C-alpha cells in the first residue's frame, strides 16, 4: 500500500519534502492477517483508516468475531528504524495498552514495514470533547490525571535514554530502575538509545552522533551540545514558520497527552508513547497539552477573580467565559500538582528561570539559532552567584568584549522582531494559520492566498532596499 498524501492536510511549508517523509509502502492485506492472527481470529472483515498523524498511519481493524484492534505503522520521519518501534512497545508493556503483535525490522517481515498491533482504547479522544466539556467535568479529568503522574514519578532510572526489551539493544550492564526507593534489576528491560523527537527532528536522524544511554546528567547534556554542533556544521537549516528575521549563523566549537476519556470525565487510556524517553524531569512539560492556556504564566496559585460581564456583547461574554474557564482549570491543575506531586511542581518553578531557558534553547540551537541563547547568557552574569553550587570564588566562565555585546544585542533585537512579526501574521491569519506547517485540504487555497497577500504587505512595509527584499524572500518559509 502506498499512502502518498495525508487524508486531511496539505503542507504550506516544503510540501513535497513533507509528503515524502510520510510516504510508506507495505502490504495491507498481510498486516490485516497479522492482526487477525494476533487475537486468534480467523478473518479480518474491515479496515478503517484513521486520519494521519505527524509520524504514523493508524488503522482500526475489525474481525469476523467483532474483535477490534488498532494497527499502527510509523512513517519514515518517525525516527531511526527499529529503535523507535522497539522502544515504544517496551514502554507500553511497562505502562499502558496491551500489544498483541509488533515488528521493528521492516525488511525481515512479509508486511514490509514496522508495525504495532494493539488494543483499541474505548472512549473518544479528549481533544474532540475538551472544548465542549463543562468546568466540573474538566476538573474531574485533571483530578484523575494526578494519579498516573504520581505513579510515574515514583519510578526513576539509572540511565538517560529510552526503554527497550533487553534483546533489542546493546545496553550497558547494571542499568536498572528505582521504584519507591527500591532498586529493581529487571532482565526483561534495558535502557538504550534515546528516541526523543529532538534527536531526529530537522534532519538529525542522519547524524553520526552518540544517542545514549548516559549514566549522568553531565554526559547527557554534553551529548545534546555535541548533537547541536554537528547539526549546525553538517545540515541545511530548516525553514521556520515561527521566525522570519534572519539570525546570525551559529559558531560553536514520561508524559503523554493523547487521552481517551469515557462519558467526558473518566480516563480510559493514555496512548501514543512513541518517542517517549528517559530524560531529566525538567525536560518534560508538567502540564498536559489539553490544558493549554496561552495567557501569561500565573505568578501565584490564586484563582482569578469572578468575571464582570455587564456591558459586554453576547460574543464578548462567550469569549470571556471561555477564557475564564480555561484559566480556572489550568490553575486548578497547578494547585493539584503542588499538593499531590510536589516534585513535578518544582519543575514548574524551575521552568520560570533563565537557567531553564538556556538549557531549553541549547536543545534546539539548530532550529532556533543562538540569538536568544547568547542574550540570556549575557544576562546570567548578573545572577551567576545565585545559582546552586556556585560559590563567591567561582568566576563567571565567559568573557564578552564590547563588540560581542553589541552584536548579541543586535541579533537578539532581530530575533525578537522576527518572533513578533510571526505572531502578528498568525493573528491576522486566524484559523487559516498553518499550525505546524500544515492546513486542512479544504482551506489550503484560502490559506495560500492569505499568506501571499501578507507576504506582499510585509515586503512593502519592511524591505527598504532590494537587498532587504531578497533577504526576506530567502527566509520566507511558506511555499
pLDDT one-digit tens code per residue, 52-82: 878 999 999 999 999 999 999 999 989 889 9
pLDDT at 216 over 80: yes
Q: pLDDT digit string (tens) for 367-416?
A: 888 889 999 999 998 888 888 878 888 889 899 999 999 999 998 888 88
For the segment 140-148, the average pLDDT, to the nearest whole number, is 83
pTM: 0.81
Give the separation between CA 159 and CA 149, rounded to whole angstroms.
20
pLDDT at 244 over 60: no
- What pLDDT is stored for residue 179 in this prediction? 66
In the chain, residues under CATH classification 3.30.200.20 are 9-120
Give the separation between CA 185 and CA 79, rounded to whole angstroms.
28
What average pLDDT does the structure give for the chain? 83
**Quick one: CATH architecture of 9-120?**
2-Layer Sandwich (3.30)
- What pLDDT is stored for residue 417 in this prediction? 78
- Return the higher-pLDDT residue of 443 and 85: 85
Contact present, 107 and 25 (Cβ < 8 Å)? no
Give the separation between CA 148 and CA 162, rounded to whole angstroms.
19
pLDDT at 251 over 70: no
Percent of the chain with pLDDT over 70: 87
Residue 240 binned pLDDT confidence (cut-offs 50, 70, 90): low
pLDDT at 289 over 80: no
First-to-last alpha carbon distance for the chain, in angstroms, is 29
pLDDT at 5 over 70: no
Closest among 409, 407, 410, 426 to 243, alpha carbons compared? 426
For the segment 464-477, the average pLDDT, to the nearest whole number, is 74
Contact present, 169 and 90 (Cβ < 8 Å)? no
- What pLDDT is stored for residue 260 in this prediction? 53
Contact present, 426 and 241 (Cβ < 8 Å)? no
Distances 290 to 268, 308, 338, 476 between C-alpha atoms, Å: 16, 26, 19, 31
Contact present, 332 and 139 (Cβ < 8 Å)? yes
pLDDT at 264 over 80: no
For the segment 320-338, the average pLDDT, to the nearest whole number, is 87
Helices marked H in 304-439: 314-340, 342-350, 354-363, 365-368, 371-383, 402-429
Amino acid at each position: 500500500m502506498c499512502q502518498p498524501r495525508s487524508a486531511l492536510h496539505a503542507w504550506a511549508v516544503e510540501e513535497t519534502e513533507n509528503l515524502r517523509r510520510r510516504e510508506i509502502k507495505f502490504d495491507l492485506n498481510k498486516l490485516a492477517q497479522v492482526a487477525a492472527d494476533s487475537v486468534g481470529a480467523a478473518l479480518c472483515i474491515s479496515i478503517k483508516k484513521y486520519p494521519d498523524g505527524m509520524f504514523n498511519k493508524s488503522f482500526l481493524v475489525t474481525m469476523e468475531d467483532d474483535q477490534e484492534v488498532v494497527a499502527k505503522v510509523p512513517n519514515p520521519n518517525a525516527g531511526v528504524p527499529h529503535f523507535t518501534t522497539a522502544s515504544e512497545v517496551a514502554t507500553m508493556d511497562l505502562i499502558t495498552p496491551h500489544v498483541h503483535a509488533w515488528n521493528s525490522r521492516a525488511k525481515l517481515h512479509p508486511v514490509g514495514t514496522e508495525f504495532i498491533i494493539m488494543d483499541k482504547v474505548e472512549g473518544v479522544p479528549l481533544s474532540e470533547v475538551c472544548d465542549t466539556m463543562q468546568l466540573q467535568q474538566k476538573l474531574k479529568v485533571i483530578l484523575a490525571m494526578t494519579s498516573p503522574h504520581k505513579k510515574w514519578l515514583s519510578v526513576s532510572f539509572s540511565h538517560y535514554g529510552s526503554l527497550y526489551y533487553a534483546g533489542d539493544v546493546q545496553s550497558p550492564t547494571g542499568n536498572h530502575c528505582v521504584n519507591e526507593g527500591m532498586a529493581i534489576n529487571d532482565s526483561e528491560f534495558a535502557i538504550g538509545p534515546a528516541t526523543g523527537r529532538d534527536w531526529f527532528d530537522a534532519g538529525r536522524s542522519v547524524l553520526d552522533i552518540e544517542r545514549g544511554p548516559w549514566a549522568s546528567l553531565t554526559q547527557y547534556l554534553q551529548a545534546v551540545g555535541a548533537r547541536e554542533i554537528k547539526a549546525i556544521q553538517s545540515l541545511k537549516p530548516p525553514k521556520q514558520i515561527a521566525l522570519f528575521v534572519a539570525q546570525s549563523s551559529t559558531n560553536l566549537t514520561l508524559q503523554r497527552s493523547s487521552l481517551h476519556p469515557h462519558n467526558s470525565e473518566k480516563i480510559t487510556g493514555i496512548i501514543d508513547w512513541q518517542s517517549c524517553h528517559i530524560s531529566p524531569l525538567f525536560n518534560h512539560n508538567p502540564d498536559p497539552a489539553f490544558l493549554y492556556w496561552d495567557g501569561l504564566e500565573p505568578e501565584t496559585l490564586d484563582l482569578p477573580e469572578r468575571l464582570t460581564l455587564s456591558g459586554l456583547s453576547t460574543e464578548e461574554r462567550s469569549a470571556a467565559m471561555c477564557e475564564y474557564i480555561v484559566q480556572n482549570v489550568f490553575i486548578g491543575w497547578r494547585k493539584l500538582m503542588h499538593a499531590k506531586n510536589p516534585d513535578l511542581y518544582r519543575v514548574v518553578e524551575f521552568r520560570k528561570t533563565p537557567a531553564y531557558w538556556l538549557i531549553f534553547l541549547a536543545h534546539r540551537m539548530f532550529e532556533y539559532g543562538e540569538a536568544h541563547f547568547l542574550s540570556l547568557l549575557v544576562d546570567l552574569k548578573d545572577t551567576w552567584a545565585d545559582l546552586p553550587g556556585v560559590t563567591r570564588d567561582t568566576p563567571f566562565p565567559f568573557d564578552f568584549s564590547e563588540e560581542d555585546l553589541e552584536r548579541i544585542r543586535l541579533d537578539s533585537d532581530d530575533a525578537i522582531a522576527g518572533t513578533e512579526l510571526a505572531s502578528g501574521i498568525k493573528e491576522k491569519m486566524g484559523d487559516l494559520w498553518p499550525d505546524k506547517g500544515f492546513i486542512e485540504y479544504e482551506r489550503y487555497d484560502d490559506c495560500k492566498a492569505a499568506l501571499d497577500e501578507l507576504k506582499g504587505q510585509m515586503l512593502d512595509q519592511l524591505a527598504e532596499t532590494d537587498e532587504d527584499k531578497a533577504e526576506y524572500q530567502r527566509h520566507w518559509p511558506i511555499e
